[in-house]
Every structure is written in C-alpha cells, then in structure tokens.
C-alpha cells in the first residue's frame, strides 16, 4: 500500500521597510499556525544564531565605528550564511515550516540598490549565502517611507536615518523584486488592520500547503 512521503519544508519570508509591520505579521502568523497545530520555526535576519546576533550588534554601530557600505553588505551575508547552515536548511530538511523576518531581498534592496552596490551582485552573493535556497513565498508589507517614519517610536536607527529618499529606493526595489518573483510574492497594503493582513496571509499559506501536499509523490513501502 502506498504511503505519502514527508512534505518538504516550507520557507516563508516577511519583507518591507522598517515600520511596515513585517515583524508583527511574522509573529502573528506563527501564533495562528500554532493554534492549528502547525509548528512553525520563527527566525529573524540578521539573528537567531550566536554568530548572527553578534553581527546584528555590529550593524547597529553608529558614528566612526559604523561599518562602511561594503562591510555592511558582507556582514549581512555572513549572518545569513550562518543562519541558513545552522538553522533554516536543517529545519527545512526535516519538513519544518520556517517563518523568516526578512530574507535576501533586504540585501538586494537596502545594499544592492539603496547603497548602489549592485542589485545583481547582491542577489548572487545572497544566494551563495543561502545555498541557493529561496523562500517559497515572500510576503511584502508595502508602506511609503513617510508613513513608516510617522509610525516610528523613538530615535531612527542607522538605516532609517539615511532618510526618505534612500528608503524610497529600497521600497521601489522591493516592489520590483515582487514583480519578478513569478507568483512567489504577496504584496500587502500595510495600511490594513493587522488582523486583516494576517487573515490574508494565512489564506495564501493554506493554498500553498495544499498545493505542496498534492505535489508530494506517494511512495510504496519497501
């Protein structure tokens, strides 16, 4: 009698400029999935491993100790490589559902386009860091930089302090990435209520999970 092979792991990333609500949605979706007995691993970029968390602290440096633009990009890449090798890829191999607060899109948008280091270069280096693994779906929370700034509580961080013109370039690249993603991106109006956004994302995830199960080949016992 045939049995169903284990469904491969699914990687969902949440993207957008700071203030768009991506971290909020990643946590909300993780909680809702837990309510349905679907265990999801929630990680953040950069972070989630000792090496990546140390890199995160370096990236927060300001003033004369702040990393230059090339160093900034390579620090993000180093953190991503460690996170994927230690956490994300092993979890996906075990069939886990992984939710990531940011992915390589951020490097392409913030450093590749925003800092002028090259979109194609940033993407190629990022895929080396991930072992070629791209998200199965990227949820892009779209919001204008001016509105993101209005939501901000406290002082702008080093990236936000680069101003609205820089963040407008970042946002434009995020939208360009979504257009090129060929069905693997979901652009959501970040003005909507958080619960409404969460329900939209969950509906898309359920459809993705159904397609994945149907595509999983059945195998006969030895």
pLDDT in tens, 69-119: 999 999 999 999 999 999 999 999 999 999 999 999 999 999 999 999 999
Angle between helices 69-83 and 50-59 (to 10 degrees): 160
Q: Band the pLDDT of 62: cuts 50, 70, 90.
A: confident
The confidence score (pLDDT) of residue 65 equals 86
How many other C-beta atoms are found inside a 10 Å radius of the C-beta of residue 181? 17
The confidence score (pLDDT) of residue 1 equals 44
Least confident of 14-23, 31-40, 108-117, 209-218: 209-218
Say which CATH architecture domain 3-214 belongs to: 3-Layer(aba) Sandwich (3.40)
3-class secondary structure, 37: coil
The confidence score (pLDDT) of residue 221 equals 56
Q: Average per-residue pLDDT in the chain?
A: 92
Task: Enter the tokens of residue 198.
Answer: 């969460």
Q: Could you tell me which of 4, 25, 184 has the C-alpha nearest to residue 101?
A: 25
| % of the chain at pLDDT higher than 70 | 94
The residue that leads in pLDDT, 157 or 187, is 187
Please report where in the chains the tokens 């990680």 appear, as a residue: 43
pLDDT in tens, 199-221: 999 999 999 988 887 776 665 55
For the chain, what are the domain ranges?
3-214
pLDDT at 2 over 50: no
Is the separation of the CB atoms in 98 and 135 below 8 Å?
Answer: no
Is the separation of the CB atoms in 43 and 81 below 8 Å?
Answer: no
**Alpha-carbon gap, residue 58 to 62, rounded angstroms:** 9
The residue that leads in pLDDT, 217 or 30, is 30
């Amino acid at each position: 009698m045939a049995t169903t092979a284990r469904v491969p792991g699914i990687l969902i990333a949440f993207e957008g400029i700071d203030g768009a609500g991506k971290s909020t949605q990643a946590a909300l979706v993780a909680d809702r999935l837990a309510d349905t007995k679907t265990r999801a691993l929630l990680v953040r970029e950069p972070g989630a491993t000792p090496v990546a968390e140390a890199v995160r602290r370096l990236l927060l440096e300001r003033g004369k100790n702040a990393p230059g633009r090339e160093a900034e990009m390579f620090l993000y890449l180093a953190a991503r490589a460690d996170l994927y090798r230690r956490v994300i890829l092993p979890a996906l191999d075990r069939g886990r559902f992984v939710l990531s607060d940011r992915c390589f899109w951020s490097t392409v948008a913030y450093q590749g386009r925003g800092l002028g280091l090259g979109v194609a270069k940033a993407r190629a280096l990022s895929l080396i860091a991930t072992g070629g693994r791209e998200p199965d779906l990227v949820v892009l929370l779209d919001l204008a930089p001016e509105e993101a700034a209005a939501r901000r509580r406290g002082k702008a961080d080093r990236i936000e302090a680069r101003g609205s013109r820089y963040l407008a370039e970042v946002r434009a690249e995020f939208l360009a990435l979504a257009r090129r993603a060929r069905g693997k991106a979901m652009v959501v109006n970040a003005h909507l209520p958080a619960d409404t956004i969460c329900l939209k994302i969950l509906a898309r995830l359920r459809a993705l999970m159904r397609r994945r199960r149907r595509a999983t080949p059945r195998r006969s016992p030895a």
